[in-house]
Amino acid sequence: MPEGGYFIGRSNTLRAQYWGRAFMQNNDPKPVADLVKHTLKIYPYTPGGYGTSIATFLEGKVKLAVNPPVPETKFVEASGKSFSTIPPSDYTFFEKINALVQEEPAGSLDVELAGQLAAIGIVKGKPFAPDARMKKILTDAVRVANATARTLDMNPRESEGFAYYPGSAWINSLFLGGYNFETPPPMVTPEGIKPFPPTGARTLNSRTSMFVFYTVITPAMIMRLTNIGSQYLVAALDADKHYFDGAKTYKLTLPPNIPEKNFWSLTLSDNQTRSMLQTPQRYPKAGSLSYPRPAAVANADGSTTLYMSPKLPAGVQDGNWIQTDRNKGWFAVLRLYSPLQPFFDKSWRPSEFELVK
């Protein structure tokens, strides 16, 4: 490894991925996309090249090497392509886990998790061959686990504390246990940071809910800092606590002064795949940006009313409507990028989803 000149991140696995997000410039994605393509370079490190000291060379530990030309980074445009990122909900779920365990180095898993997998026969370097009885047990287990996780996602008990506002269907499970799913994120006050005492217990239901909805976690998603990162509220139930029906029309009102410094967006996702709802509208969102669909138009009093329905309701602006599928359920995610204080002190509160017809 180099001795200097780099920020080094070590991976426990042979496969790794990292995620980035960039904001559009003046509602145009092209300048930012061009910047990423021009500046982002991914290529193998050259041992003995940049980052290796002459002293190390003189000690005979490594040969010096010439840094080769930086190769061109390949970019793959995935827009418009269909692919599934949803794990199976049948016995093949365990076959996939076994394949990953066999591909990755021993010790890459947390020992507790590795022990749980070993208890059902998934062990590095050994065949996974459950008999018919164990296959049935595992098949039942993954179905129950899938149903439990989705219920925690879409309709958690009030006692779980996922609701962001009292009695509301708007939830955010991260405020229960924070980034590490153990202790809530610290309060930020005029007097300074006020951390919560460690609970000493993992908020497992919060963690399960998070990773059914999303794929990755970052501290920026759960900091009570204004104008930094992003915050999310999720709703899968209407004002009467019924699941959303894609054949019906719903209305949502966002009060004036939506608390974001950058932009806001409401998106709809399929409650089976947890991916964005696929309809002829293509982009199931409404928000403050005018790309790729028109921006939502505020009412005379500064509030913004949004509609979710299979067809554009009469008299509603196109940018204030998100199309639904008559044959599918859905859930909504309200995203605030660079959130402001009224979100954190809850003085600003969106309405519940009202059934129109």
- Residues 119, 261 share a domain: no
- Residues 123, 190 share a domain: no
- Whether 146 is covered by a domain: the verdict is yes
- Whether 264 is covered by a domain: the verdict is yes
Question: How are beta strands 304-309 and 321-323 bridged, if at all?
Answer: parallel
* Cβ contacts of 12 within 8 Å, gap of 6 or more: 105, 107, 108
Quote the domain boundaries for residue 173. 158-355
pLDDT given at position 269: 96
pLDDT tens for the chain, residues 1 to 357: 888 889 998 899 999 888 888 888 888 999 999 999 999 999 999 989 999 998 989 998 889 999 889 999 999 988 878 888 888 889 999 999 999 999 999 989 989 999 999 999 999 999 999 999 999 999 999 999 999 999 998 999 989 999 999 999 999 999 999 999 999 999 998 899 999 999 999 999 999 999 888 888 888 889 999 998 899 999 999 999 999 999 999 999 999 999 999 999 999 999 988 899 999 998 999 999 998 899 999 999 999 999 999 999 999 999 999 999 999 999 999 999 999 999 999 999 999 999 998
Tokens for 15, please give them: 């496969």
- Whether 23 is covered by a domain: the verdict is yes
pLDDT given at position 61: 82
pLDDT given at position 298: 98
- Residues 341, 193 share a domain: yes
- Whether 261 is covered by a domain: the verdict is yes
* Domain end (from 138, 154, 170): 154
Give me the CATH number covering residue 126.
1.10.3360.10
- Residues 49, 142 share a domain: no
pLDDT given at position 80: 79
Strand, coil or helix: 353: coil
- Whether 58 is covered by a domain: the verdict is yes
- Residues 333, 212 share a domain: yes
Its pTM stands at: 0.88
pLDDT given at position 174: 92
- Whether 85 is covered by a domain: the verdict is no
Read off the DSSP letter of residue 308.
Answer: E
- Whether 166 is covered by a domain: the verdict is yes
pLDDT given at position 195: 94
Read off the DSSP letter of residue 90.
Answer: S
- Cβ-contact 249, 307 below 8 angstroms: yes
- Residues 51, 18 share a domain: yes
* Domain end (from 120, 154, 188): 154
Give Cα 302 distance to the centre of its chain: 30
- Total structural domains within the chain: 3
Number of H helices, E strands in the chain: 8, 10
pLDDT given at position 17: 85
- Residues 104, 51 share a domain: no
pLDDT given at position 1: 85
- Residues 211, 129 share a domain: no
pLDDT given at position 260: 97
* Domain end (from 134, 154, 174): 154
> Among 355, 294, 352, 302, which residue's Cα sits nearest to residue 322?
294
Buried b (16+ CB within 10 A) or exposed e, 293-328: bebbeeeeeeebbbbbbeeeeeebeebbbbbbbeeb
- Residues 215, 176 share a domain: yes
> Among 95, 119, 117, 96, which residue's Cα sits nearest to residue 106?
117
- Residues 254, 110 share a domain: no
- Whether 20 is covered by a domain: the verdict is yes
